[in-house]
Structure 1
């Protein structure tokens, strides 16, 4: 199918790009989850579940910010975009901690399952927010595109 207008991808091409992004996001997120989950389990030997979760999550933030920008969404690396994604991931961490605590208080499962359930609940929204930030154009560039 040919693009509807010059320079713009057709609908099937957009779905292909989105599919690749979802798959790559899941790969990066999965590897980050494994990394932080192993750290979480190890930290449980010395710390409470909440402290273990916070420490392991903080280590994962830089990992996902860089990989999502560079390899998943293939966006241009800028300091502003990095800071926006970093700030978003800190906010996401706060939300995930709240969900984690809710699970801890309200669902009768092993502490080993708390992070798994937390991520299952938050992952779809996390993808959409990260994609939006990573692919956002700067105000100056966006204005230049319109002229």
Structure 2
């Protein structure tokens, strides 16, 4: 069986309770909030901006476009992912909101960064299908997967 290029962010596997607490404490200090959830949402959104797959990065591709994402809290136990696709000229814009029910799903967000591509894909924890695409950056994908995993677990608590 060949090794898969997919990686998983598993906060519990590599972090003790103290390390988890430190991670959340640092995020709350960074985003000036007392709420774990608000800090995690802000961090996820900052990472989504930082690692957005922009048309300018897609040199040599015919259909270059910006892929921009934003997450927010939906109904109880639901994450809303806003996807905005902008054409190279910035005149064609498509927006899609996807509601992701979180109760009963594995909170660990997995990602794949194929060595032959220019992007990383984070997978939907509910069914493993592609959820969002960012620029190919292993550290960025790992940090986003970690933050989203913590956010999902936090939102599953209600």
Same fold (TM over 0.5): no
- With normalisation by structure 1, the TM-score equals 0.30
- With normalisation by structure 2, the TM-score equals 0.29
Tell which structure's C-alpha radius of gyration is larger.
1
Normalized per residue, the structure richer in helix is: 1
